Structure 1
């Protein structure tokens, strides 16, 4: 028996049937949030980390649901890794959503919050600039070459002020010493690298657990940190098998736990995406809430929702 190859017409019909189903699935996955449990030696209990909310009218209900889930976990502290905006806003009215958080929150800004590198062409330019023009070592950290005047600092300043009004403390090359889970923690917030604004502060020596927040993982350095938290990548957003394998091998760093010079870095998949034609889509790459060293109560809460 001879098998005939499918005709162009049949392939086109198949794609017409498949495409809406795949798009529907990817839209569903973009709203199906995982809680990722991260165990880090020495870290205080019960800290939640999220990043890349990109809050806007199309996803405000999703962000509200994420906040409800965070509150249900009753964290000791919430850390947020930047990209609060899409960069296309005329005002920051939707950032009022953060008033609903029931725990202290500290954050850094991301590239969308400075309106830089928000499309493919300029994003690639920033990636190359980090590799060729920046010194991303702790001793001589200098990323000012990326500060080419394109960063919208007025937009970032307005956003930071709005976040502060809504209960989110924004660290722009600054640090804070706070209590979390009954222990002291030092939070070092490094301003956005792609905007050329990253200028890590001098942090006094302390025995407290020290976590650095930076938006782009490629802009981190070998700081004297116990943990570095980053975002920006959305986990790849469409994590095809070959890309997932390269990420698992550490050839690329899109999502998960990586170790450089003995310091663990967690790159989060984020909670939202910048969106395609106004719709968040993901494949094999669900949004996530990262829960660091969960308490027994939090583990029970997760168990109740399993």
Structure 2
């Protein structure tokens, strides 16, 4: 019986930590990648995603607002900003300091539909089903970003000049809900032929998206969606990515090769969670500050 008591105690303490403590331990992960042309001035990129903000989550909103002090050269928002039907106003307010910086964005499924209650254990068997919650006022969210000058990359391309370098962007809409238009990617890449660096942006890092972007010429891809696994185990790591990306790549930087091209993938573990699964375990909520440096 003592061992049962011990297991129960561990379970209770783990729940207290994951629900009551770790999910509030927001962190800025800093890394550097050598990907710019020789002799280029470094470019700092703040990668933010999976905020899943609900109106009552004041600590999270305050942390997002505080990121303005970083003054990044570029903001890449990989979607799932919303965590509640009434969160559009709070999200735009929280992101306002960052929207003063150059930025690009794509949508996640939670930017289109409100969250619904799901069985969390089902994620261990296969990726979750397509979204089925109430439709959100997505045009208002997108309009807020665009009015600030951020580029909409949902099945679109775009260009921004930063520190004298022309950055090109290939983007797709949410691949988890199969809104990604891969046939548009070659045309996007052709429009960016004169750029110094081409970056792919996707909410969900499905392998079909990574391969299409890498084969088309993207040197680096930014994605979210995985939550880093959200609940991880020591040594084992993430238990799921909620897509076909292998779990060992659930967060952070990894190297890939498509059509003879080397590609860097950066996956942000995100800041949030569904309001119906308020837990983080061995997976702190994060944003990623990436410094792009000359090769």
* TM interval, short-chain normalised: 0.7 to 0.9
Which residue, 230, 234, 245 being the options, matches 2:227? 234
Structure 1 residue corresponding to 2:156, chosen from 169, 174, 182: 174
Aligned residue for 1:186?
168
Q: What pairs with 1:243-282 in structure 2 (closer than 5 Å)?
A: 243-244=236-237, 252-261=248-257, 262-276=262-276, 280-282=278-280
Q: Would the aligned equivalents of 2:52 and 2:272 in 1 still touch at CA under 8 Å?
A: yes
Residue pair 2:31, 2:291 contacting (<8 A) in 1 also:
yes
Provide the residue aligned with 1:285 in structure 2.
283
Is structure 2 residue 27 aligned with structure 1 residue 27?
no
Of 78, 81, 85, 2:78 maps to 81
Task: Name 2:39's counterpart in structure 1.
Answer: none
Please tell me whether Structure 1 or Structure 2 has the larger radius of gyration of its CA atoms.
Answer: 1
Q: Tell me the equivalent position of 1:196.
A: 178
User: How far off is 1:257 after superposition?
Assistant: 1.7
Instruction: Select which of 45, 48, 57 maps to 1:47.
Output: 45
Query: Structure 1 126/152 Cα, relative in aligned 2: closer, same or farther at 3 Å?
Result: farther
Who is 1:106 aligned against? 104
* Kept after mapping to 2: 8 A contact 1:116/1:194: no
Counterpart position of 2:142: 160
Alpha-carbon contact 1:52-1:234 (below 8 Å) kept: yes
**Structure 1: unaligned runs, 5 residues or longer:** 130-145, 296-306
Q: Which residue of 2 aligns with 1:95?
A: 91
* d(CA) in 1 for partners of 2:3, 2:59: 44
Structure 1 residue 72 and structure 2 residue 73: aligned?
no
Q: CA deviation at 1:92?
A: 2.2
Alignment partner of 1:214 is 2:202 = yes
CA 1:119/1:174 → structure 2, altered by over 3 Å: closer, same or farther? farther
Consecutive unaligned residues of structure 2, counting only runs of 5 or more, are 37-41, 241-245
User: How many angstroms apart in 2 are the aligned matches of 1:35 and 1:211?
Assistant: 21
CA contact (8 A) 2:48 2:78 kept: yes
Q: Note closer, same or farther for the CA distance 1:164–1:26 as it changes in structure 2 (3 Å cut).
A: same
Cα RMSD for the two superposed structures: 3.5
Length-normalised TM-score, structure 2: 0.75
Q: Does the 8 Å CA contact 1:171/1:188 hold for their aligned counterparts?
A: yes
1:23-60 CA deviation, whole Å, 9 max, x = no partner? 14643222222222222222451111111111221324
- Verify the 8 A CA contact 2:53 2:60 in the aligned structure 1: no
- Secondary structure of the residue that 2:236 maps to in structure 1? helix
Q: What's 1:139 paired with? A: none
CA distance in 2, matches of 1:165, 1:83: 19
1:30 is paired with a residue whose SS is helix
Q: Deviations over 1:7-32 (max 9, x none)?
A: 86x559x63x9726741464322222
- Structure 2 CA distance for partners of 1:6 and 1:128, relative to 1, 3 Å: closer
| Contact 2:117 2:276 (C-alpha < 8 Å) held by counterparts | no
Q: How far 1:194 moved relative to its partner?
A: 2.1
Q: Deviations over 1:128-168 (max 9, x none)?
A: 89xxxxxxxxxxxxxxxx8xx96977743343224334554
Q: Larger strand proportion, structure 1 or 2?
A: 2
Which residues in structure 2 correspond to 1:114-133 (within 5 Å)? Answer: 114-115=112-113, 120=118, 127=127
